[in-house]
Amino acid sequence: MAQDVLCEVNNCKYWAEGNKCSANAIYVVSHRGKKAANQEETDCQTFEPQI
């Protein structure tokens, strides 16, 4: 498993200094069911706006 998860979306509540993700788990989904043909067909469902 990856040691670090990087994130450049700095308005997410899980964003941490150094573009690190501080979430306990990451949830990524595909727009096309269980398989994605490319990066544009996926989304990170862990995102929550920072308040």
* R_g of the chain computed on alpha carbons: 12
Phi, psi values for residue 41, rounded to 5°: -90, 10
Q: What value does the mean pLDDT take over residues 27-49?
A: 87
Flag whether the pTM goes above 0.95: no
Collapsing DSSP to helix, strand or coil, 48 comes out as coil
pLDDT interval class at 39 (50, 70, 90):
confident
Distances (CA, A) of 36 to 22, 29, 30, 32, 39: 25, 9, 6, 6, 7
